[in-house]
Amino acid sequence: MKLFPTSNIWLKAVLAGLLLGTSLIGEAVAQEKVLNLYTARHYATDEAFYTGYTKATGIKINRIEGGEDALFERIKAEGANSPADVFLTVDVARLWRAEQAGTFAPVKSATLTKRIPAHYRDTDNKWFGFSARARVLAYDKGKVKPTELARYEDLANSRWKGQICTRSSSHPYNLSLISSMIIHLGQEKATEWARGVAANLARPPRGGDTDQLRAVGVGECSIAISNHYYYVRIMRSEKPEDRSLVEKVKLVWPNQGDRGTHVNISGGGMLQHAPNRDAAIKFLEYLASDAAQTLFANGNNEWPTVPGVKLANPELESFGKFKTDSLPLANLGKTQAAAQRIADQVGWK
Ligand code: FE
């Protein structure tokens, strides 16, 4: 191809078209396969699996990053004209909401149904979980014995009055946790539990999970509710204040003696109006591959959802194996509204 010393495929097509007296532009466009990805993930490490996908398939990724809710609103607003093929986001509540809004198309893929356990995906295979996160309890080891905090139920014990820090109840992470309490305990007991938690708060909810962990670190509260990866992020930090936080604040994986710890997912699905459906399915299948699973999960210090995939994350692996709540995650979506009603009713802001 000395004749066309450029790597620009468009220019090549135009030049070739002029020489041959025919237009090859249409063909050139058809040959350049793309995947339009809308993602609420924003980890520098994710770059590796985007590159990996392009390498494996020859399909280029056009990526648009944004906030979880902003991207969802954008997809809805774009409707049938949306160029988006795949939407990646976090928390099953958001995946469920997107599914309910008719955002996702079902995906038929033996690879995905074989590799991703059923409780980590939608029953109609409209979304798939690619990494798992645990909602854990962090405690000040000088003030709390882990045995006193072995279950989520223990958070409602009046002995913790004025000692618990948590983010707002209306955040999907807490709504999903409250939902799991509704499913396991029933509406009435879950309401009682939430009332107990609200009565034990050290301060009105504000900030994200990291802020709650830091509040335990500075002694503003003795217990925090947090997703595990915020703690692992601090574990992996070299900053002196983070080193001392990790020394002082430890984690409990709740309900190991019974139903297991509440887990949630980060995941995604193919969109209803996806223009590049083959590329979309290939991308979802790629995310379930061993190599991508390690990268995807490690990017945010999470666990792969595909069983048996190796981690390369000593801090995360230091926790060892634990029992997870095997509740089908899709069920958590259905109880979100009830969870919010309970939180409002008991004054958990
Ligand atoms: Fe998060």
Q: Do the beta carbons of residue 240 and residue 152 sit within 8 Å? A: no
Å from CA of 218 to ligand 1 middle? 22
Å from CA of 323 to ligand 1 middle? 21
Q: What is the pLDDT of residue 30?
A: 52
Give Cα separations from 129 to 88, 89, 208, 288 (angstroms). 10, 10, 22, 9
Å from CA of 226 to ligand 1 middle? 9
Q: In tens digits, what is the pLDDT along the chain, a chain of 349 residues? A: 333 333 444 444 444 444 444 444 444 455 689 999 999 988 888 888 899 999 999 999 999 999 999 999 999 999 999 999 999 999 999 999 999 999 999 999 999 999 999 999 999 999 999 999 999 999 999 999 999 999 999 999 999 999 999 999 999 999 999 999 999 999 999 999 999 999 999 999 999 999 999 999 999 999 999 999 999 999 999 999 999 999 999 999 999 999 999 999 999 999 999 999 999 999 999 999 999 999 988 889 999 999 999 898 999 999 999 999 999 998 998 999 999 999 999 999 9
**The residue to which tokens 């339009």 are assigned:** 36
Å from CA of 228 to ligand 1 middle? 9
Å from CA of 29 to ligand 1 middle? 38
Å from CA of 137 to ligand 1 middle? 15
Å from CA of 196 to ligand 1 middle? 25
Å from CA of 269 to ligand 1 middle? 19
Give Cα separations from 76 to 35, 100, 267, 271, 276 (angstroms). 19, 12, 18, 11, 18
Q: What is the pLDDT of residue 278?
A: 97
Q: What is the pLDDT of residue 170?
A: 92
SS3 assignment, position 201? strand
Q: What is the pLDDT of residue 161?
A: 98
- Strands 34-39 and 60-65 turn out to be parallel
